[in-house]
């Protein structure tokens, strides 16, 4: 992951945001762009679907994808990878957890990106879930719901 971050860092002045997702992720980029228009890419934040697991404050699911604005990318590359003690092994398993740890270590805030209905723009579920009465097997504890309250 560190090598990839260093590579996209070379394009930091050409783009406002960088989106990472798995190869089997379905994304509607127009919706993402619409919501990101309300944010400043020069602010240090990251977002995605947040799980309340493994680390304080939760982490953003790598499978559902997460977004780094250019300032977050800059901080992670310039101050964290290869330099910060909490970021020494981001190339290994659980890169999504480690990205959240590294980002937090250098002042990158984790925020939830919600649409106008108050729903997360990132869905960690299998695409089959809402269709054909498909019932997924439980994979995570009940407390892995998103951090935000859509009614607030």
Cβ-in-10-Å burial (0-12, 13-18, 19+) of 7 comes to exposed
What is residue 43's predicted lDDT score, i.e. its pLDDT? 96
Total domain count for the chain?
1
Q: In this structure, is residue 146 part of a structural domain?
A: no
Q: In this structure, is residue 80 part of a structural domain?
A: yes
Q: In this structure, is residue 121 part of a structural domain?
A: yes
What is residue 141's predicted lDDT score, i.e. its pLDDT? 53
**Residue 20 belongs to a domain with what CATH number?**
3.90.550.50
pLDDT along the chain (152 residues), means of 10: 89 94 84 90 91 80 87 95 77 78 92 81 69 55 51 49
What is residue 109's predicted lDDT score, i.e. its pLDDT? 94
Q: How far apart are the first and last CA of the chain?
A: 35
Whole-model pTM: value is 0.77
Cα 67 to Cα 17, 30, 33, distances in angstroms = 7, 14, 11
Q: In this structure, is residue 150 part of a structural domain?
A: no
Q: In this structure, is residue 51 part of a structural domain?
A: yes
Q: In this structure, is residue 60 part of a structural domain?
A: yes
Q: In this structure, is residue 141 part of a structural domain?
A: no
Per the CB < 8 A criterion, the answer to whether 122 and 113 are in contact is: yes
Q: In this structure, is residue 147 part of a structural domain?
A: no
Domain with 71, as residue range(s), is: 2-135
């Amino acid at each position: 992951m560190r090598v990839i971050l260093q590579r996209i860092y070379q394009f930091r002045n050409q783009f406002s945001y960088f989106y990472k997702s798995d190869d089997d992720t379905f994304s509607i980029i127009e919706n993402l762009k619409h919501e990101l228009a309300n944010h400043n890419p020069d602010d240090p934040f990251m977002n995605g679907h947040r799980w309340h697991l493994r680390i304080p404050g939760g982490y953003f699911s790598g499978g559902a994808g997460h977004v780094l604005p250019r300032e977050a990318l800059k901080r992670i590359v310039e101050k964290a990878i290869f330099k910060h003690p909490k970021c020494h092994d981001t190339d290994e398993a659980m890169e999504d957890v480690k990205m959240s740890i590294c980002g937090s270590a250098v002042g990158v805030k984790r925020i939830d990106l919600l649409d106008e209905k108050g729903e997360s723009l990132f869905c960690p579920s299998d695409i089959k879930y809402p269709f054909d009465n498909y019932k997924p097997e439980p994979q995570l504890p009940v407390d892995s719901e998103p951090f935000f309250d859509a009614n607030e």
